[in-house]
Amino acid sequence: MNKIMIVDDMPIFLEYLRGCIDWNAYGFEICCEAHDGREALQKMEEYLPDVVLTDITMPYLNGLELSEKIIKDYPDTAVVLITGNNEFEYARKAVKIGVCDYIVKPFEKEELILSLLKLQDNIGKAVENSLRDDYVLTDELKALIYAGISDSEHSNEIEEKIFGWGSGAGYLLGLVKFDGDINNNSSREELMNWERLIAKMLEDKLDIDGEVKIFNDFENNIIILMRFNRASDISNFKGYEFTDIIDVVKNQLGFDITIVLSRADELKGVKKAYERALGTVMVKGHGKLIDLREESEPPVFTSLDAIFRLNKDIENLLSDDVENVINTMWQHIREAHPKEDGHTITDMNIISSALSVLMTNIINSGFSIEKIYGDGFSPEHFFSGSIGSDEMKDKVIYLFKKRIEFEKDKKKSKSRDVALSAKEYIEQNYINSELSVADISEVLCVNQTYLRKMFKSEMNMTLSEYITQVRMQEAKRLITATDEKLSLIAEKVGYSDVSYFSNVFKKYYGNSPRSMSKE
């Protein structure tokens, strides 16, 4: 967990910060509180928080003065200022000192969460520490939107399994699509982690008279299925929760997200509602809420059956069937929409959907996109210059087959093999003060999210905790067995700042390095 110290001279605001967020759900814990800057400094050495969340106007030592001292003496601790003062001069001073972020009251709690998760590697740590791997009933929910329901008896059975006993008065489906940069492995993986966090925020934020289920489709869009107890509530639902999320994500992360709402009067209509939402998000603008509740005709879109089958073919390593599915899908689209030479929106929709399925599968499988397709691979660059629809289709087939061949040729490593390899790499490279999870994942040819999960599962500790453990054990050995200076020992175990090393050592062992030194 990332440790947070909150500092404010107003008890009511400390209480608000403590209770307004489910901190553990996002990988954080409040390790201590302070009522002024002087008390905060006294607690820094004892608790060594990862983040200090502080007000500006406080007695004895104000927030700017506190921030300056923390940044100087504890360089690995991030500082976020929260204040009711929106004057430019305060913001200018905060930036000059090196404060990570500056949040003005009043603020949405989602704004604060995203601000904290942006710091250093907090998004990766949050996924590593706390977020569950998947939502319950994911297979049933995916089958609902891709395969649909055949009859009323089947509908009742599925509804009871997903929502429990009873029936609702209607459904509202929300589709959330991120319009972020996904041209390389790291940005795609980071985007998927943000999507998981946003899904969690929506789960916490949505409050309706009914039930809410949240999951991801095969393109990793967030799907929110809401069952309302009263039909009138479906029409009266304003969607403010969604517009708030759109604004906060844009302001904090710089991402545009589009959210489409589509209505289904009964469960067997959910598949059609999903088709309408997915088709709409492909052809209408970005960064806004699109409401289809009063619209009847869906935009044309590719076959959901084909998307479902493509995902299964990748999982089962069926190259030939992948080619057949893509050829058939392309033929059906071309017959339905004959055109002259050139590329249409329909071509782009097919490519976008197929690539989203492919790239999401690669990341979820723990592989590196660049290891499969080469350094600097970019889908946009790969498809640029394609002449005609057939060449684009052949390139899509090539990418799918290349991914399947990669897994067939690769000697599969079990989770313990990955964890042991990471452990060995850390033990050989802990002296490097810049050692990071990104370095380890690159050497092992797995993505960071997969590496974090496998290591924690096998070693019962996070990668960061193990790096600290190795460094502290070697530091203790050097301190007790040699006469070397503390600054040299700190350098030998991967710390460039001897003061920070001493603080970490005391936190780990309960005693200062000098108290353990060889007599």
4 pLDDT band (50/70/90 cuts)?
A: very high
DSSP state of 297: P
Please indicate whether residue 239 or residue 182 has the higher confidence score (pLDDT): 239
Write out the CATH class of domain 2-129.
alpha beta
* Domain spans of the chain, in order of start: 2-129, 148-291, 304-409, 416-516
pLDDT for the residue 303: 61
Residue 340 has pLDDT above 50, yes or no: no
Q: What is the CATH number of domain 148-291?
A: 3.30.70.270
HSE of 311, CA atoms in CB hemisphere, 13 A = 21
- For 224-233, 296-305, 312-321, 466-475, which range has the lowest pLDDT when averaged over its residues? 296-305
Cα(344)–Cα(382) distance, integer angstroms: 18
> Which amino acid does the sequence have at 87?
E
pLDDT the model gives residue 185: 47
Q: How confident is the model at residue 414 (pLDDT cuts 50, 70, 90)?
A: low
> Whole-prediction pTM value?
0.65
User: Residue 33's beta-bridge partner residues?
Assistant: 6
Q: How far apart are CA 128 and CA 463, in angstroms?
A: 9
Distance separating alpha carbons of residues 409 and 411, to the nearest angstrom: 6
Over residues 447-482, the pLDDT tens digits come to 787 788 888 878 878 888 899 999 999 998 898 888
What is the CATH number assigned to the segment(s) 416-516? 1.10.10.60
Say if CB 476 and CB 502 are below 8 A apart. no
Radius of gyration of the chain, Cα coordinates, nearest whole angstrom: 26
Pairing label, strands 78-83, 101-104 = parallel
Q: What was the pLDDT predicted at 264?
A: 92
Mean pLDDT of all residues in 83-92? 68
